[in-house]
Amino acid sequence: MPPDGRLTVKFWGTRGSIPVAMTSAEVRRKLIAALTRASGRKLETPEQAAAFLDRELDFAGSRTFGGNSSCVEIVTDRRDYVLCDLGSGARVFGNEVLGTRDASGQRFHAFMSHPHWDHIMGFPFFMPAYQAGNHIKIYGCHADLEEAFRGQHAAPCFPVDFSRLSATIEFVRLEPDREYEIAGLRVRPKLQRHGGDSYGYRFQAGDKVVVYSTDAEHKQDDLTEIKAFAEFFRDADLVIFDSQYSLAEATSIKEDWGHSSNVVGLELCQMAHAKRLCLYHHEPVSDDERIAALLAETRRLEEITRTDRRVEILAAYDGMEIAL
């Protein structure tokens, strides 16, 4: 945890399946909308312009949810870095580390949900791996995890072979449903329904609990499984949840594609008495307005279905920080 005693979660990549970037047409649309809204206002200084953006425009109008694939940092009270997944967001994270700390002598712990490409593709561009003196431990429950990482460095996929990375890199096999003490955290993996399997992680430091659960499909008619995940999420301060599809998509055309919806995430968090639900692994075809609409829809649903406990609803974006 940081010096003030809180646990902090930082999002470096929040998209699912493949990284995306805003198109020039989307940028232009945002600019036109902002300039139209600013008509008649006195915006002669950067400070005035910033205040207008913050006070007059919603998030989708003034910012972006971003486009990097999965990478989330959990900040603990130790110098070690703790990450969930190494999608393209890991490149941005690694560059930040090199820009703010010594290039060598750093320790990283990366917990992998699974080795699909969008979750490991940032590692070839993770610059601390090229620096001698750094120590990187990559944890996961898949038997072929190391093979997947080495394979994407090999020809014809990448010009720099894994053997040429200068950092000390270890792969640590974990067992699902077993609790571990790693980097000052109690960590428990759980098997999730996904093509080739994926694993969620429950992290606990003191009385703070963060659940990272992405690339998981939940069958609503499987009550045993639903109850098991409600227990996995039990009393969590934050649940980071795969909400890539709408409920209609998840139960029809995209059934068995291995992802879930905002509705199922909310229901599980309500059952678990979790405090916050963070929508994550955003659909790559969804623009900022669509993600913002999904967030508003989920918040309305939470209000309608709320009993005696409120679940705070958030939508992850690249650069977002949540202090617990």
| Per-residue pLDDT, 310 | 95
Higher pLDDT, 181 or 260: 181
For residue 217, is it within any domain?
yes
Confidence of residue 256 (pLDDT cuts 50, 70, 90): low
User: What is the extent of the structural domain holding 83?
Assistant: 8-20+66-323
User: For 126-163, how does the pLDDT look when each residue is reduced to its tens digit (9 = 90+)?
Assistant: 999 999 999 999 999 999 999 999 999 999 999 999 99
Residue 133 domain-assigned (yes or no)? yes
- Per-residue H/E/C for the chain: CCCCCCCEEEEEECECCCCCCCCHHHHHHHHHHHHHHCCCCCCCCHHHHHHHHHHHCCHHHHCCCCCCECEEEEECCCCCEEEECCCCHHHHHHHHHHHHCCCCCCEEEEECCCCCHHHHCCHHHCHHHHCCCCEEEEEECCCCHHHHHHHHHCCCCCCCCHHHCCCEEEEEECCCCCCEEECCEEEEEEEECCCCCEEEEEEEECCEEEEEECCCCCCCCCHHHHHHHHHHCCCCCEEEEECCECHHHHCCCCCCCCCCEHHHHHHHHHHHCCCEEEEECECCCCCHHHHHHHHHHHHHHHHHHCCCCCCEEEECCCCCEEEC
The amino acid occupying position 1 is: M
pLDDT value for 102 = 86
What pLDDT does 270 receive? Answer: 96
pLDDT at position 275, please? 97
Averaged pLDDT, 10-35: 94
257 inside domain: yes
Q: Is residue 2 part of a domain?
A: no
Flag whether 55 is in a domain: no
Q: Within a domain: residue 26?
A: no
Q: How many domains does the chain have?
A: 1
| Position 39 in a domain | no
CATH number at residue 267: 3.60.15.10
When pLDDT is cut at 50, 70 and 90, the band that residue 254 belongs to is low
In a domain, 276, yes or no: yes
